[in-house]
Amino acid sequence: MLSVGSRAALCALGSIAAAMLGPPVAHAQQFEIPASAKAAIIDATNTYRQSKGLATLSESEDASREAPCASGRNRRDMSVL
């Protein structure tokens, strides 16, 4: 069994190692949604928003653009991850 000092040292080393590795990287998954399903989701959302006295959703071209990957390149430009 490790002494209290040894356990504290191991815990500190583990914390330092975790901090040096940085945050975990997330990889988003993208998939196509059929237009009929998208319309049903938007209709249900707008019905709910109207019942709460909120404005309905509207689509803007800027919000519909695909965001670049962390590397600054578009997902389509990356043949192998």
CA 71, 31, 36 angle in degrees (round to 5)?
140
Which pLDDT tens digit goes with each residue over 60-77? 777 667 666 666 555 555
- Tell me the per-residue pLDDT of 6-20, one tens digit each, with 9 for 90 and over: 777 777 777 777 666
Q: How far apart are CA 37 and CA 40, in angstroms?
A: 5
Question: Above pLDDT 70, what percent of the chain?
Answer: 64
User: What residue segments make up the domains of the chain, in order of their start?
Assistant: 34-58
Calpha distance 68→52 (Å, rounded): 34
Is pTM beyond 0.75? Reply is no
pLDDT, residue 54, reads 94
DSSP 22: -
